Structure 1
């Protein structure tokens, strides 16, 4: 997990508690502090460093913010286990997330990357949405050619696989997780998605608005061209996806939020 100045102590506390309260707790917690943070977060971190439910909290401080990809790579250097589990500082784990993902990984040695479905919830009271994804490896890889169907904060991955591909890259802005999944698939590592909500993802209108604009669009195009050059996409797929995402990234934030909602299932 990494946290940064814009996070709140309340969100961080909720996220950490959902990890510390797992039915099977992690052996180690690696928390990267990506630049200076406020006293509210510092107080939360100090309290959980004394919490023995997870025996080892490794705290890594970066003097200035370097972004998620770099923070994750620094954190990866400190991960000591066979498996690495990802979590965001404002999301919430289901109580049995670690147990279910770990049990699956240990009983399926051919699978390297495990994720789950998720629920997106809004602090403003807007209806929650369910984000689903294909389950089997082949179906996941087919879907990845068109969009990112893997929930980053639901990830459990074999640490050796993550290190084999060199961890994260900051080459394409906020697409570091999508880029990672494609490189893992091209390196021959296999995926499975557990068809159950194991993570609740905090969302907001502002997040939807940030996922657009000229800069995001340019990174998206460069990313897709790289996917074509590496053989992950063919020419027809490249053209179709470029047209679709050019419209998606350049429309207004409100329209973009509506399109996001169409790809999710409302939770009644």
Structure 2
């Protein structure tokens, strides 16, 4: 997990607490402080680390972004013995108590699976549930749909360390959508994906959620869709139309994006075959 200046200390506290209270206890929790953060956040992180020996706090001298911070965590992890899986989460989210246990059990029992995501519950700034995001479960459908959407919820993912020992990393040049590009590269190389339908993470959806995607993120997603079509050999009229339609939708007013987002969640939960 990485945290930076804009993260609310109380949300960071809840995120860390949710990991420390996991039913699966055999883990190392690396928290990367990405640049300067409020003194209260620093004091809280150090207090957690002092109380729990599983927590390691690392400090970046300046803000380098999520992808670069995760790559630093990966570089550290590949040098450690006994680390089998790499788990992700964000500093404003919270894991359900059984998240690690269920994902570890699944990966232990399915050696063919390399990347495992889960469903998530979306909560507002007050922590109240406001939605959900459940992705397709099977590898076939996850990959088939990649030219149209990012089919793994990034904050829920567990990745087998073999992926990183093979040399794969996030693209640190990208300030957003890094996970989407990584999934495309891994799918093209034959790595196996799965999603658990259980909602094992509470994902924070803040008030500006529908506004903050911006033109850069929208263009990156647009580019990723065409890269996915090329690398996965899935050029089609439907996939091309979808990429163009979503780009147009992203540029519309926030209230239109909000309506489309809710409709999309209904499609994922009720209509798309898993």
Report if TM-score (shorter chain) is over 0.5.
yes
Paired position in structure 2 for 1:224: 225
Paired residues, what number?
Answer: 263
In structure 1, the residue matched to 2:250 is 249
TM-score (norm 1): 0.91
Aligned residues of 1:167 and 1:180 also touching (Cα < 8 A): yes
- Cα distance in structure 1, aligned partners of 2:133 and 2:222: 24
TM alignment of 1:1-268, pairs within 5 A: 1-52=1-52, 55-79=53-77, 80=80, 81-123=83-125, 128-213=130-215, 215-265=216-266
Q: Given the superposition, is the C-alpha separation of residues 251 and 133 from structure 1 closer, same or farther in structure 2, using an over 3 Å criterion?
A: same
Q: How far apart, in 2, do the equivalents of 1:43 and 1:241 lie?
A: 47
Task: Kindly indicate whether the alpha-carbon contact (under 8 Å) linking 2:88 and 2:156 is maintained by their aligned counterparts in 1.
Answer: yes
Deviations 1:220-262 (CA, angstroms, capped at 9, x unpaired): 3332333334244315355213311221221122221221122
TM normalised by structure 2 equals: 0.89
- Is the deviation greater in 110-119 or in 253-262? 253-262
Please give the alpha-carbon distance, in whole angstroms, between the structure 2 residues aligned to 1:163 and 1:207: 35
User: Gapped runs of 5+ residues in structure 2?
Assistant: 270-274
Please report how far the alpha carbon of residue 194 of structure 1 lies from its aligned counterpart in structure 2 after TM superposition.
Answer: 1.1
- 1:47 Cα deviation after fit: 1.3
After superposition, the Cα gap between the structure-2 partners of 1:115 and 1:127, relative to the gap in structure 1 and judged at 3 Å, is closer
Judge conservation of contact 2:184–2:231 (CA < 8 Å) in 1: no
Mapped contact 2:119–2:201 kept (Cα < 8 A): yes
Post-superposition Cα deviations, 1:3-50, rounded to whole Å, max 9, x if no partner, equal: 000001101110000000001124211111111111121121011101
2:272 aligned residue: none
Distance in structure 2 (CA, Å) of the matches to 1:233 and 1:195: 25
Question: Whole-Å Cα distance in 2 between the matches of residues 24 and 127 of structure 1?
Answer: 25
Segment drifting more, 137-146 vs 12-21: 137-146
Determine helix, strand or coil for the equivalent of 1:18: helix
- Where in structure 1 do 4 or more consecutive aligned residues deviate above 3 Å? 124-127, 170-173
**Deviation (angstroms), 1:171:** 4.6
Which secondary structure state, in structure 2, belongs to the residue aligned with residue 224 of structure 1? helix
CA contact (8 A) 1:173 1:219 kept: no
Q: Could you list the per-position Cα deviations for residues 191-242 of structure 1 after superposition, in whole angstroms to 9, with x for gaps in the alignment?
A: 11111110010112312211133x2333233323333342443153552133
In 1, the alpha carbon distance for the partners of 2:102 and 2:16 equals 18
Q: Which moved more, 1:28-37 or 1:228-237?
A: 228-237
Instruction: Assess if the C-alpha contact under 8 Å between 2:147 and 2:239 holds in 1.
Output: no
C-alpha distance in structure 2 between counterparts of 1:69 and 1:38, whole Å: 22
Deviation, 1:126, is 6.7
